[in-house]
A and B are shown apart, each in its own frame.
Chain A
Amino acid sequence: MTSRVRVEEDGTVVVMSGKVELGQGITTALAQIAADALGVPLEKIRMLPASTAYSPDEGVTSGSLSVSEGGTALRKDCEELAPLFGTKSPVLGRSVPRLDLPRKIAGRPSYLQDMVLPGMLHGRVVRPPFGFRKLVSIPEGEFVRDGSFVGVLAQREEDAIAMAAKVRAKAQWERSPEPPQDIHAWLKANVAETHVASDKGPLSRATLKAEYSKLWIAHASIGPSCAIARWTGKKLEVWSHTQGIFNLRRDLAMVLGMPEEDIVVTHAEGAGCYGHNGADDAALDAALLARAAGGRPVRLQWSREDEFAWEPYGAAMSVALEATLDAGRVVSWQHQLWSNGHTNRPGRAKQPTLVAAAHLAEPMALAPPVNPPLPYGGADRNAIPYYDFPAQRVLNHYVREAPVRSSSLRSLGAYANVFAIESFMDELALASEQDVVAFRLKHLKDERARKVIEEAIRKSSWGSFKKYDGAGHGLAFARYKNLSAYCAVVAEVEAGEELRVKRLVAAVDVGLAVNPDGVANQVEGGCIQAASWTLKEGATRPASSWEDYPILRFSEVPAVEVSVLRNDFPSMGAGECAMGPTAAAIANALHDALGVRVRSLPLTAENIVKAMP
C-alpha cells in the first residue's frame, strides 16, 4: 500500500489525499490534520492534487465525509511517520486561513478553466437545450461526430464558440418526451420498489396528516463544467473537477472500451461544487473530441446553457406524514416518500452514467439514478425521525424512471425529509397548543441534539422576538444522516408581496472542529444556499439561463449567525447539515408570520397564495 505522505529532502511533507477541493476548504483542513499528526508547521505541508497516477482510491468527495474518512486515513499514515518529527504543533482546532484563497482572490490561475497545455485546442459540444433520442440531421460543416455526439474544435476559443453556434442552429434532434406536468402525482403512479427504512411498534390511527413536496433543484455552479483531455497513442490523460477521479476513470474506460490502467485522471479545481454536476460528463466530452485532435490536448468548456440543460438535478420529491398524538406526545409516526434515486454518479454500475455515452454511434444504455443504502441513505436520508417515538414506519417508494436526470445535490433527500418532518413537528405542536421548542425537546433524549436547539434559541434571543404584522420566526433541527453533524436553525422572516428571510441563526455541533472558521463558513454558506432553494428554486424541467433559474442575490441574502459548539468528540463534516433545518425553519417562520402552512417548495408568492385557506 502506498502512503499518503512523503517527506522531501528539504523537509517538505507532500500529502497525497484522495479527497478533492470543491471550494469547501478541505485542502486546508487536511493540511491541518497532517501538520497536527506529524508535529510540523503548516507551511511544511504541500498538498498535491488527487490523481489516479499516485493517490489512494478514496471514492467520491461527498456526503460531508472528507474530514471523518479522508482525515482519519491521512492521520493514520502520518502517525506512522510521526517519530521522525518533533512535538505536536497546535494547529488543529484553529481557524487558520484557507491556503488557496490568496491566489484565487488575486485572480491568478486557480481553476481547471485556467489551465493551458502546449498546443491546446478549444472544444465545444453541440447539444440542444433539451433531452433528445437522436440527432436527425446536421448540415455539412466542420465538426467532430460520433453518432449523435457532435462537437467542434478550434485553435481559438471564440472560434469554437461561433462554430458550435452555427452547427447547433441548423441541426435537428428528435426530442425526448417533456417531463410530466404534475411530477408529484406522476411519481406516485410510477413506483418501482418500496423499501422499508424503519418499522417499529404497531402504528395507531393517525390524528394528523400532511403532504410536502419539492421540485428539481440545480447545482447551478457559477463556473460551467470544463475538462481537458489528451491522447498519446492509446493512452488517455484527463483533467477534471470531478468528485471522484477513480469513479470517473471506470466510466471512461467502459465507454471508450479501454483498460482503466491506460487512463490517468487528475483532479483540478473547478468552481464551487455542491454535488454531482456536469464535471464527469464534460470529461467524456473532452476525451471524445480529443480523439480527433491528433494528440493535441483539448480544453472542453460547457456553456451556461449546456450546464443548466445537462447537469443532473437534485430529484423532485413528495413526502406524506401521519402521526398520532396522545397526551401531548407523539405515539405513532409514519413517513412515506416518493422519489427518483439521488445518485447517478459514474463508476458504480455496470452501465455508464455519462451523458455522451447514450449518444454515440453505438449508444450505451445509461444506469438509472439509485439510492445509497442506509444508514446514509439517498432519497431516504434523514427520513427516519431522530426523535424518540415509540412506534414508527418509514417507507421509501423508489421511482426508477427519471423524467429529468437526477443525482446527488448537497444533502440528497435530507433537504425534503427534514423540511417535511420539521414542518410537521410544528404542526403537531401547534395543533395540540404546545410550545414548538418544548415539544421538540420532550421528544429528544440525545443531549447533543438538545444543546444545539438550546444554543440556537439562546443566540437568536427567541423569547424576545419582536412580532409585528407580517413578521414571524421559526425553528428546525436535524442531525445530518442521523449520525453526523447536529444543526438547529432559527429563521426570522417578513412576509410582504414576497417572503423575505431577514435573519438565520444556526447552532452546530460537528465534534472537534478542525478549522472552526471553516466550519462556520460552510454552515453560513449552506444556510444561504438553502434559503435560496427554499425561497426561489424549483424547476419542472431543466432551465436554460439565470433568467429562468433565479437564485438569491446580495440584496436578498439574510443576516446569518453561526454558533459552532466546542467539544472534543470525533470530527464530523459540516457542509450539508444546515440544508434541511434552514428550509423548515423558514417555512415555520412563514406560518408564524401569516398563519399559512405552505407545504410545497419553493415558498414563492404563488405557492403561498395557493396554500391560503
Chain B
Amino acid sequence: MEVEINGERRAVEAAPETPLLYVLRNHLGLVGSRFGCGTGQCGACYVLVDGHPMASCDLPLSFVLDKRVTTVEGLGGASGLHEVQKALIEHQAAQCGYCMSGIAVSAVALLSNEKEITEDKIRSALDRHLCRCGAHNRVVKAILSVAK
C-alpha cells in the first residue's frame, strides 16, 4: 500500500484497518503525532488529511490511501519549522509539550482556512485539544502573533 505523507509517496505494509497513528509512528518513524487516548477525544495525535485536522488514532489507514496526509513533521515543508511552531517556541508556549503537535496541526489549518483570525476563533478551533499543563493562553498568543 502507498500513502502520501508530507508530500512523499510512502510504501506501507499494514492492514487497511490499522489506525493511521501507528503507521506513522512505528512504520514510518514519524513519532511527532502522539498517542493520548485512542478514541479521538484529546487531540494529541491530530494530522492534516487533505488540509483538514483529524485524529489519527482512530482513523483507519484505508481512509487516507487516496488523500494527502501532513503530520507535525511536515508542517514547515522543506524550510524547517512552520511559523506557528516558531511562534510556539518564541512564546515558550508549552510545559511538557506532549499536546503541542496536535495543537500546531490544528493551528496551521485554521490559519490557512480563515482570513480574519480572532482570539475566539483560535480558542474554538483548539477546543478539541486537551492541554493539562495549562499552556493555553501562551498558545493563543503565539498563534495570534503569526496571524498579525
Q: Write the residues of chain A forming the contact surface with B, with a CB cutoff of 8 angstroms.
A: 22-25, 97-98, 100-102, 104-111, 113-114, 156-158, 161, 220-224, 269-274, 301, 303-304, 517, 521-522, 524-529, 532, 545-547, 551, 553-555, 557, 559-560
How does the 8 Å CB contact mask read for B116-148 relative to A, with 1 for contact and 0 for none? 000010111011011111111111100000000
Tell me if B101 and A546 are in contact (CB < 8 A).
no
**Nearest-CB residue, chain B, relative to A107:** B32
A529 to B123 Cα, complex, angstroms: 17
B31 touches which of A109, A269, A274, A557 (Cβ 8 Å): A109
**Nearest-CB residue, chain B, relative to A578:** B134
A242 to chain B: closest CB distance in Å? 15
B30 to chain A: closest CB distance in Å? 8
B1 to chain A: closest CB distance in Å? 14
Please list the 7 inter-chain residue pairs (A to B) with the smallest Cβ-Cβ separation, ordered nearest first. A107-B32, A23-B96, A528-B134, A525-B134, A104-B97, A272-B96, A107-B72
B9 to chain A: closest CB distance in Å? 20
A162 to chain B: closest CB distance in Å? 9
Q: Write the residues of chain B forming the contact surface with A, with a CB cutoff of 8 angstroms.
A: 14-15, 18-19, 22, 25-26, 30-39, 41-42, 44, 71-73, 81, 85, 88-89, 92, 94-101, 104, 120, 122-124, 126-127, 129-140
**Nearest-CB residue, chain A, relative to B32:** A107
B130 touches which of A22, A104, A158, A553 (Cβ 8 Å): A553
A221 to B81 Cα, complex, angstroms: 26
A304 touches which of B37, B72, B122, B126 (Cβ 8 Å): B37
- A109: chain B residues at CB < 8 Å are 31
Tell me if A555 and B127 are in contact (CB < 8 A).
yes
Tell me if A111 and B14 are in contact (CB < 8 A).
no
- A555: chain B residues at CB < 8 Å are 120, 123-124, 127
B123 touches which of A157, A161, A554 (Cβ 8 Å): A554
Tell me if A557 and B137 are in contact (CB < 8 A).
yes
Instruction: Given contacts A102-B89, A270-B98, A528-B134, list 19 more A-B pairs with CB under 8 A.
Output: A101-B89, A105-B100, A106-B72, A109-B31, A156-B14, A157-B26, A220-B132, A221-B98, A223-B96, A271-B96, A521-B135, A524-B138, A525-B134, A545-B39, A547-B41, A553-B130, A554-B124, A554-B136, A557-B123
A97 to B130 Cα, complex, angstroms: 24
B119 to chain A: closest CB distance in Å? 10
Tell me if B37 and A545 are in contact (CB < 8 A).
yes
- B137: chain A residues at CB < 8 Å are 524, 528, 557, 559-560
B92 touches which of A97, A222, A223, A528 (Cβ 8 Å): A97
Given A157-B26, A222-B98; A521-B138 close (CB under 8 Å): yes
**Nearest-CB residue, chain A, relative to B30:** A107
A405 to chain B: closest CB distance in Å? 20
Given A114-B31, A156-B26, A304-B36; A271-B19 close (CB under 8 Å): no
